[in-house]
Structure 1
Amino acid sequence: MYMGVVESVFLSACGELPDEIIKTYEFVDIGSGKGRGLILAHECGFSTITGYEHSVYLNRIARDNLRRLNIEGVTIHECDIRMASYTANNKVIFAYNPFNEALFRCFLLGLATHIINNAIGAYFIYVNPLHEDMLASFGFSKIVEHRSDSNCSYVIYGINIS
């Protein structure tokens, strides 16, 4: 079932990051849906913004929403996340519980391998973190934990950061 991220939750989570991270890291929305996370990332000041979404329908809506708001320079990849390729930039990864457990594990394996092989740093913002225990098993360390009702809880993990 599709659910867009709650704006206040997104802004609260991004507010936990240092300004320098927002200015210099690539924002990556995993399961970017209709583009709300991409739009909010733009409003927060991320300069490089990328979304990954499997649904042709949701990608079309996201592109229309970005165009309607005159937001340019956002890259949206329409793909199966297991086959995704990433840039070698430091990243802030955002996920609003986009996958079931098996797909999340496969995604994390590819992502962690990419991060380690490219010696980059990453923050992982995970909203409604149903499978967060997997992050530690792939080398991520918990930095922030905010618990409330299920759609507003988030955790932030980091890997290769100082």
Structure 2
Amino acid sequence: MASRLQRSTLKLVNLARTQGLQTALLHATNAVAWHVVPSRRAFARSLEHERVLAQEFDQTYGVETAGESPLTAVGVPPEKAGRGNGLYRGIWSGVFHDALRETQLPLERFTFVDYGSGKGKALMLASAYPFRRIVGVEFAPGLHEVAVNNLGVFHSPGQRCLALEAVCADALEWEPPVEPLLCFFFNPFDDPTMERVVTRVARSWRQAPRDIYLLYVNIRDVSEQAHVFERHTALTPVKRGRHCMLMKVTAGR
């Protein structure tokens, strides 16, 4: 217990030094909430279960996706880490497959683009579907390097798409390919960054109209960031559940 308290204290001191006292206090408040708020405690139990499943996924395919990593530890400058919500965590397999099934789209027509693709887990999971090709966009060099290694060794007997690519790029600068797209977002950005990325995707649609869908997934609740999508005039809602929401890029409302 003393060792855990010491590690937590050192982490807060480091946060205060690198990202400011306000960030450190917010982190401390959130840490306390995990122990006293019932919904947070239930989510913490789910996290523990999913950690086991993530380790099993890695062992099965000989890859590395499990665990969490501060973005500052994988090559992202402290002043930019907040844009990516400060932390890497791989998508939960069950939530991912549920979200893909909910779209009910003819996936063979689409290129799958994962914004904030981390170590590439969503890319590997997406390969079980008949996408035209699969692209991951990640701006943390350390995460991108792991993703490249993972894609180099990944193989599944149920794989239906073999064209997998990991790109190291800033989503605010990367141009979406001119083809039908299913853009996947596993809670990768803060609100201002998400809004700018969506605007960039919408601009791509205006320059070359084609089917573009946005699939936003949040393992807690999509309500945390739904307002960013709902207020964007270029998006038309298609479906919404607790953990995922699907939108289509259109001419605007």
TM > 0.5: yes
Tell me which amino acid in the other structure corresponds to 1:3: R
Please state if 1:145 is matched with 2:231.
no
Please state if 1:156 is matched with 2:246.
yes
Partner Cα distance (2:225, 2:208) in 1: 25
Residue matched to 1:135: 229
Higher RCO by CA contacts (8 Å cutoff, separation 6 or greater): 1
Q: What's the CA shift string for 1:39-91, capped at 9, x where partnerless?
A: 01111222311110001111111111111114853122211111101211011
Residue matched to 2:89: 3
Aligned CA RMSD, in angstroms, stands at 1.8
Alignment match of 1:80 (pick from 161, 170, 176): 170
The 8 Å contact of residues 135 and 166 in structure 2, kept in 1 or not, is answered as yes
Tell me which amino acid in the other structure corresponds to 2:174: A
Please state if 1:50 is matched with 2:127.
no
* TM-score of the superposed pair, with normalisation by structure 1: 0.88
Which structure has greater strand proportion? 1
Partner Cα distance (2:153, 2:165) in 1: 16
Query: Unpaired runs of 5+ in structure 1?
Result: 148-152
Structure showing greater Rg: 2
Partner Cα distance (1:66, 1:34) in 2: 9
Tell me which amino acid in the other structure corresponds to 1:131: Q
Q: CA deviation at 1:127?
A: 0.8
Q: What's the CA shift string for 1:106-156, capped at 9, x where partnerless?
A: 111111110121101111110123322222314212211111xxxxx1111
SS, match of residue 205 in structure 2: helix
The 8 Å contact of residues 112 and 138 in structure 1, kept in 2 or not, is answered as no
Partner Cα distance (1:52, 1:138) in 2: 25
Alignment match of 2:192 (pick from 87, 96, 102): 102
Tell me which amino acid in the other structure corresponds to 1:49: I
Partner Cα distance (2:187, 2:174) in 1: 17
Q: Could you list the runs of 4 or more consecutive aligned residues of structure 1 that deviate by over 4 angstroms after TM superposition?
A: none
SS, match of residue 103 in structure 2: coil
* TM-score of the superposed pair, with normalisation by structure 2: 0.58
Q: CA deviation at 1:19?
A: 5.3
The 8 Å contact of residues 120 and 166 in structure 2, kept in 1 or not, is answered as no
Q: What's the CA shift string for 1:6-40, capped at 9, x where partnerless?
A: 111111111123352x1111100000001011001
Alignment match of 1:123 (pick from 213, 224, 232): 213
Which structure has greater helix proportion? 2
SS, match of residue 176 in structure 2: coil
